């Protein structure tokens, strides 16, 4: 059920990317899509009453294994967020340059290319 | 097999090292970049016929279950590494003089080598998430390289490419998340073991996400909108890299690896590949015929030629896959050559419009001759490599009793010939135009690179002679065709 | 932007900026024992400078952390990480990329600072890389003035 909500969020982002005309709104839609996927990855690793997957002094290996959450999705999300940060920074930089050239954020008015 | 991680480590290190020392001295960054790519090419040639699995940090699998991250060198990876390093070396040679007109040469080489590192990583990795990371490294570097000129067209194309590419990456990441949730592993071999060809609806959803994600990266036809803008806008060496290697590595290779070796091919997915391939083939060449911008024309023709490769892979017999890989490396060679030619024309005349050119044959003999060889090769004229690979793909389609697809492939080949004859006639033959009376031949480094690629256009045809075929193409096709046996060969080694 | 915010913000920032920096360094150094690590710590370190930029304006921040230095540190961090990984081949007992060669030859006391071998060094490298590049991304986006220029105008 929760996963369906992730998919919905993903689709909302996709809708925004496809339909919106403003560069900034497209970037925000892209961020929404990335967040949806990150949320999905975090939810895969969710465990009720779980503890952080870090062994501390005096903890028994058995209880640790029984209660710790899966660390892999968290590592994935961290990496995905970093990549998302890089992509977003890149997009914003290009959008700023585009504004410099065209004086607008409206994608319909950028018509130097045919396609 | 200590050499395996160096394929990623060397370009990555050089990418960070060059801007540190090369900012003041462009010649130093030229030298370093060329040494790096030459070293990579030699390394790739030295691993022909070898295979091995490399576990990072010595975390070898226990009881057949992988613990750490691995790099897998198998015949397909070797094949891709050779394609990537060959083209990237010749492109760096070309860049020495072509990139002189841009200011930030050290940055250019830095991004270029980052892209090479990403592609080598994609070709080598045995871990699904690392595949995504390397794919993003290569993609982000290519977004920046497309926008390198910072003019209207470049920025617009780069934005479009960036948005669509990121949507593709997000879809791939979503697919990886689903696969991880279902199998509890990210190691490709372990995933193949767990799924074992038993696909449920949720797996098919992941397959759909993978096809759309990698399809966006490979610019297959319903997802191709960004390519004809992005590839022409980049500087010519980068266009050659993007069209020649990048879409194949992060698109087709990654798609084939995931479909064949990780999730397992079903009749449905292979039929989807066939249809997408044919669609790209036909639509690409039809759209190419109406283009007046030489680089846009070449970009559309890339879509069409990539369609051939996907079609061959979709047929799925060992013969067909080998033919597809053969066409992949051939296309890498002749499409890079044609893009470098277009760069040379732009360098001398300052235009990309076919209607404004004409009669360049006397002014630029080397460019003209190499371009003619490239065009004949891509159009499938007999002694050149493109003829052999297209013939083999059509033969494979007939052998697999896919007569309709074989007919399409043959028809598109004729259309390609017509399209490239128009290119040759408009650009190099006909009346010389007044405006370009003082057009000169391109500088030496650009000529060297173009001549090497033109020679390769002929030499590549010999890849299908029995000895070369059995060391390079057939083992690679075997790995893909045997599908899920990949798991046992990786974990058992 | 150049004048910064109100005196209240400036005063508070002056008090807390040192603590934030020290906390970031702590997160980096103890990344292998507690939650955190090179990435999280690097982000916190970068945030110190982002806070200074927001409160005092970009000139004040650039006085403390010049762009040239940040750019060099960015490359140094990446190269340091790569060298640590490559030393695994050269000096490691198992002799593979990323081998934790210090921990193999000299395993420390568990739960103490010097217990994880190369992980501590890698965390420091990552912190350098992340801290400087995040600061660079922020400051470059802040510094760029977005102005529309007529086609003929020179930038």
The answer, yes or no, to whether residue B253 has pLDDT greater than 70, is: yes
Of B485, B491, B4, the residue nearest B262 (C-alpha): B485
Residue C30 contacts B, CB cutoff 8 Å: no
Please tell me the distance from the alpha carbon of residue C29 to that of residue B78, in angstroms, as a whole number. 40
Chain C touched by B13 (CB under 8 Å):
yes
3-state secondary structure labels for all residues of B3-40:
CCCHHHHHHHHHHHHHHHHCCCCHHHHHHHHHHHHHHH
Q: How far is B128 from chain A (nearest CA, A)?
A: 11
Contact C40, C79 (CB under 8 A): no
| pLDDT > 70 fraction of chain C, expressed in percent and rounded | 88
Task: Give a yes or no: residue C1 inside a domain.
Answer: no
Helix (H, G, I), strand (E, B) or coil at B473: helix
Residues in CB range of B466: below 8 A, 6 or more apart:
none
Q: How far apart are CA C73 and CA B251, in angstroms?
A: 34
Q: Is the pLDDT of residue C151 over 70?
A: no
Domain that holds residue A95: 2-47+70-107
Per-residue pLDDT, B152:
81
Contact B87, B38 (CB under 8 A): no
Residues of C in contact with B57 (CB under 8 A): 88, 96-100
Reported as a single tens digit per residue, the pLDDT across A57-66 is 777 778 887 7
- Nearest CA-CA distance, residue B301 and chain C, Å: 33
pLDDT in tens, B181-240: 988 888 888 888 888 777 888 889 999 999 999 999 999 988 888 898 888 888 899 999
Confidence of residue A114 (pLDDT cuts 50, 70, 90): low
Contact B55 C88 (CB under 8 A): no
Q: Which of C111, C141, C148 sits opposite A99 (nearest CB)?
A: C148
Confidence of residue C16 (pLDDT cuts 50, 70, 90): very high
Distance CA A86, CA A70 (A): 26
Report d(CA C40, CA C28) in Å as an integer. 7
**Tokens, residue C150:** 């007529």
Residue of A23, A86, A103 to mutate for C, most C C-beta atoms under 10 A: A103
pLDDT value of position C94:
58
DSSP annotation of B432: P
Nearest by Cα to B6 from C79, C97, C48 = C97
Confidence grade of residue A115 (pLDDT, cut at 50, 70, 90): very low
Contact A100 C149 (CB under 8 A): yes
**What residues of A are in contact with residue C35 (Cβ under 8 Å)?**
52, 54
Position B433 confidence tier, pLDDT thresholds 50, 70, 90: confident
C86 inside domain: yes
Residue A86 counted as domain residue: yes
Query: In this complex, is the C-beta atom of C140 within 8 Å of any C-beta atom belonging to chain B?
Result: no
Q: Give the separation between CA C95 and CA C121, rounded to whole angstroms.
A: 18
Q: How many domains is chain A built from?
A: 1
> What pLDDT does C96 receive?
76
Whether residue C149 lies inside any domain: the answer is no
Q: Judge whether residue A109 has pLDDT over 70.
A: yes
Nearest chain C residue to A85 by CA distance is C134
Tokens of C65: 């952390």
- Give the distance, in angstroms, between the CA of residue B172 and the centroid of all CA atoms in the same chain: 19
Tell me how many domains chain C contains: 1
- pLDDT value of position B493: 53
Pick from B123, B91, B112, B8: nearest CA to B56: B8
| Domain layout of chain B by residue ranges | 6-492
Asked if C99 and C86 count as a contact pair (C-beta separation under 8 A), the reply is no
Subunit contact B16:C92, Cβ cutoff 8 A: no
- Check whether A112 has a pLDDT greater than 70: no
Tokens of B362: 């006397």
Task: Residue window 418-477, chain B: list those with CB within 8 Å of chain C.
Answer: none
**Are B363 and B440 contacting, i.e. CB atoms less than 8 angstroms apart?**
yes
What is the residue-wise DSSP string for B121-156? Answer: HHHHB-BHHHHHHHHHHHHHHHHHHHTTT-SHHHHH
CA B227, B108, B127: angle at the middle one, nearest 5? 65
Q: Do B12 and C82 touch (CB under 8 A)?
A: yes
User: In whole angstroms, what is the distance from residue B167 CA to residue C35 CA?
Assistant: 31
Q: Which pair of tokens denotes residue B223?
A: 């997802």
DSSP C79-148: HHHHHHHHHHHHH-SS--TT--HHHHHS---TTSGGGSTHHHHHHHHHHHHHHHHHHHHHHHHHH-----
Q: State whether A96 and C149 contact (CB < 8 Å).
A: no
Which residue of B13, B19, B57 is in closest CB contact with C99?
Answer: B57
Among the listed ranges A59-68, B318-327, C58-67, C90-99, which one has the minimum average pLDDT value? C90-99
Instruction: Please give the residue range of the domain that contains residue C75.
Output: 7-143
For residue C2, is it within any domain? no
> DSSP string covering B66-114, please?
--S-EEEE-HHHHHHHHHHHHHHHHHHHHHHHHGGGSS-HHHHHHHHHH
Contact between B359 and B432 under an 8 Å Cβ cutoff? The reply is yes
Task: Report residue B415: phi and psi, to 5°.
Answer: -60, -40
Query: A54 — contact with chain C (CB < 8 Å)?
Result: yes
Tens of pLDDT along B111-133? 999 999 999 999 999 899 999 99
User: Which chain B residues are closer than 8 Å to A87 by Cβ?
Assistant: 136, 140, 143, 162, 166, 169
Give the residue among C113, C45, C110, B132 at the shortest CA–CA distance from A75: B132
Alpha carbon distance B28, B53 (integer Å): 36
In a domain, A63, yes or no: no
| Among the ranges given (A72-76, B39-43, B135-139, B427-431), the one the predictor scored with the smallest mean pLDDT | B427-431
Strand boundaries in B253-356, DSSP class E = none
Tokens of B370: 């190499």
Does the beta-carbon distance from A113 to B157 stay under 8 Å? yes
Q: Per-residue confidence at A113, pLDDT binned at 50, 70, 90?
A: low
Structure tokens at B481: 């065709």
CB B219 within 8 A of CB B227: yes
Q: Dihedrals φ, ψ of C79, to 5°?
A: -65, -35
Closest CA to B185 of A36, A72, A79, A77: A72
Closest chain A residue to B173 measured between Cα atoms? A37
The pLDDT score that the predictor gives to residue C153 is: 54
- Res C145 pLDDT > 90: no
- Contact yes or no for B386/B330 (Cβ under 8 A): yes
Chain C environment of A56 (Cβ under 8 Å) = 111
Q: Decide: C20 and C47 in contact? Cβ < 8 Å.
A: yes
- Of B201, B248, B162, B58, nearest to C101 (Cα)? B58
For B55, nearest residue in chain C (alpha carbons)? C96
C152: nearest CA partner in chain A: A101
The whole-number average pLDDT for the span B462-480 is 87
| Residue in chain A lying closest to B128 (CA) | A76
The verdict on a CB contact (< 8 Å) between C86 and B17 is no
In a domain, A31, yes or no: yes
Residue found by looking up tokens 């024992």 in the block:
C33
Average pLDDT over residues C56-65: 82
The number of C-beta contacts closer than 8 angstroms across A and C is 29
Note the pLDDT of residue B81: 94
pLDDT in tens, B256-294: 999 988 888 888 889 999 999 999 999 999 998 888 888
Beta bridge partners of B62: B65
CA C70 to chain centre: 9
Is A52 a residue whose pLDDT tops 90?
no
Inter-chain contact A89–C141, Cβ cutoff 8 Å? yes
Q: Kindly list the residues from chain B whose CB atom is less than 8 angstroms away from the CB atom of residue C85.
A: 5, 9
Judged by CB atoms closer than 8 Å, whether chains meet at B9 and C86 is answered as yes
Which has the minimum average pLDDT: A26-40, A55-69, B158-172?
A55-69
Q: Burial-class residue C121 by CB neighbours within 10 Å (0-12, 13-18, 19+).
A: middle
Using CB atoms, pick whichever of C75, C89, C95 lies closest to residue B19.
Answer: C75
C97 touches chain B (CB under 8 A): yes
Distances in Å between the alpha carbon of B43 and those of B181, B241, B375, B469, C17?
Answer: 37, 19, 31, 20, 49
Asked if residue A16 lies in contact with residue A25, where contact means CB atoms within 8 angstroms, the answer is yes
Tell me if C99 sits within 8 A of C140, measured CB to CB: no
* Contacts (Cβ under 8 Å, ≥6 apart) of B155: A94, A97, A98, A101, B147
Does the structure show a pLDDT above 70 at B426? yes
Write the CATH number for A101: 1.10.287.3510
Residue-level pLDDT at C155? 46
In a domain, A34, yes or no: yes
Per-residue pLDDT at C112 exceeds 80: no
Does residue C93 surpass a pLDDT of 60?
no
**Angle at CA of residue B413, ends B407 and B416, nearest 5°:** 145
Q: Is residue C1 predicted with pLDDT exceeding 50?
A: no
DSSP B384: S
- Chain A residues with CB-CB distance to B166 below 8 A: 30, 33-34, 87, 91
Query: pTM of the predicted model, to two decimals?
Result: 0.92
Q: Which residues of A touch C149 (CB under 8 A)?
A: 100-101
| pLDDT tens-digit series, residues B319-363 | 999 999 999 999 999 999 999 999 998 888 888 888 887 777 778
C127 CB-side CA count, 13 A = 25
- Asked whether residue C148 is assigned to any structural domain, the reply reads no
What's the rounded mean pLDDT across residues A34-54?
86
Q: How confident is the model at residue C152 (pLDDT cuts 50, 70, 90)?
A: low
ipTM score over 0.90, yes or no: yes
Would you call A103 and C146 a contact, using CB atoms and an 8 Å cutoff? no
3-state secondary structure of B251: helix
Residue C116 lies in a domain: yes
**Is pLDDT of A73 > 50?**
yes
For chain B, the residues whose C-beta falls within 8 A of a C-beta of chain A are 129, 133, 136, 140, 143-144, 147, 150-153, 155-160, 162-163, 166-167, 169-170, 173-174, 176-177, 180-181, 186, 225, 228-229, 233, 296
């Amino acid at each position: 059920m929760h996963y369906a909500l992730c998919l919905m969020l993903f689709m909302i982002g996709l809708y925004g990317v496809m339909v919106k005309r403003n560069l900034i709104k497209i970037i925000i839609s892209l961020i929404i899509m990335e967040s949806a996927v990150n949320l999905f990855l975090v939810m895969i690793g969710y465990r009720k009453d779980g503890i952080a997957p870090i062994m501390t002094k005096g903890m028994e290996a058995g209880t640790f294994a029984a209660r710790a959450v899966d660390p892999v999705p968290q590592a994935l999300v961290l990496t995905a967020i970093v990549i998302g940060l890089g992509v977003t920074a890149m997009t914003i930089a290009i959008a700023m340059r585009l504004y410099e050239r065209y004086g607008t954020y409206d994608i319909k008015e950028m018509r130097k290319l045919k396609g | 097999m200590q050499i395996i991680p160096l394929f990623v480590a060397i370009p990555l290190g050089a990418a960070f090292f060059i801007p540190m020392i090369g900012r003041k001295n462009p010649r130093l960054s030229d030298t370093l970049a060329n040494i790096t790519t030459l070293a990579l090419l030699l390394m790739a040639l030295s691993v022909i016929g070898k295979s091995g699995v490399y576990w990072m940090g010595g975390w070898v699998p226990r009881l057949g279950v992988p613990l750490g991250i691995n790099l897998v060198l198998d015949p397909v990876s070797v094949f891709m590494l050779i394609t990537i390093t060959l083209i990237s070396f010749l492109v760096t040679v070309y860049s020495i003089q072509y990139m002189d007109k841009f200011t930030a040469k050290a940055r250019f080489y830095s991004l270029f080598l980052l892209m090479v590192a990403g592609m080598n990583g994609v070709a080598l990795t045995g871990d699904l998430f690392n595949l995504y990371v390397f794919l993003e490294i290569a993609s982000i570097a290519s977004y920046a390289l497309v926008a390198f000129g910072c003019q209207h067209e470049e920025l617009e194309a780069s934005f479009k490419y960036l948005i669509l590419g990121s949507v593709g990456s997000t879809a791939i990441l979503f697919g990886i998340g689903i696969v991880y949730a279902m199998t509890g592993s990210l190691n490709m071999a372990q995933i193949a073991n767990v799924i074992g060809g038993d696909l449920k609806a949720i797996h098919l959803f992941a397959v759909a996400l993978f096809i759309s994600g990698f399809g966006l990266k490979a610019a297959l036809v319903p997802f191709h909108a960004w390519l004809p803008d992005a590839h022409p806008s980049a500087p010519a060496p980068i266009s050659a890299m993007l069209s020649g290697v990048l879409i194949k590595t992060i698109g087709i290779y990654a798609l084939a690896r995931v479909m064949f070796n990780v999730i397992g091919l079903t009749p449905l997915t292979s039929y989807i590949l066939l249809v997408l391939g044919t669609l790209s083939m036909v639509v690409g060449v039809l759209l190419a015929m109406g283009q007046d911008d030489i680089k846009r024309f070449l970009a559309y023709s890339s879509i069409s030629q990539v369609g051939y490769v996907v079609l061959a892979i979709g047929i799925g017999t060992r013969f067909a896959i080998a033919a597809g890989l053969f066409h992949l490396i051939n296309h890498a060679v002749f499409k890079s050559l044609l893009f470098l030619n277009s760069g040379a024309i732009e360098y001398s005349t300052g235009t990309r419009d076919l209607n404004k050119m004409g009669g360049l044959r006397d002014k630029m003999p080397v460019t003209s001759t190499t371009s003619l060889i490239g065009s004949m090769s891509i159009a499938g004229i007999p002694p050149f490599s493109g003829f052999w690979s297209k013939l083999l793909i059509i033969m494979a389609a007939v052998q697999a009793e896919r007569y309709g697809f074989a007919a399409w492939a043959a028809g598109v080949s004729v259309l390609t010939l017509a399209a490239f004859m128009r290119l040759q006639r408009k650009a190099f033959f006909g009346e010389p135009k007044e405006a370009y009376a003082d057009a000169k031949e391109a500088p030496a480094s650009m000529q060297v690179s173009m001549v090497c690629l033109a020679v390769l256009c002929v030499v590549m045809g010999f890849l299908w002679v029995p000895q070369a075929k059995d060391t390079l193409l057939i083992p690679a096709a075997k790995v893909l065709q045997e599908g899920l046996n990949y798991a046992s060969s990786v974990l058992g080694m | 932007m150049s004048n910064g915010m109100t005196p209240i913000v400036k005063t508070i920032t002056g008090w807390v900026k040192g603590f934030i920096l020290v906390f970031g360094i702590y997160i980096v150094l103890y990344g292998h024992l507690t939650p955190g690590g090179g990435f999280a710590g690097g982000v916190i370190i970068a945030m110190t400078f982002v806070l200074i930029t927001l409160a005092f304006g970009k000139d004040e921040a650039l006085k403390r952390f010049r762009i040239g230095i940040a750019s060099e540190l960015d490359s140094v961090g990446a190269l340091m990480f790569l060298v640590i990984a490559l030393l695994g081949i050269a000096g490691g007992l198992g002799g593979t990329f990323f081998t934790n060669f210090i921990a193999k030859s000299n395993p420390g006391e568990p739960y103490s600072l010097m217990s994880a071998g190369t992980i501590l060094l890698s965390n420091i490298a990552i912190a350098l890389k992340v801290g400087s590049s995040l600061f660079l991304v922020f400051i470059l986006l802040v510094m760029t003035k977005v102005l529309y220029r007529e086609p003929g105008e020179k930038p």
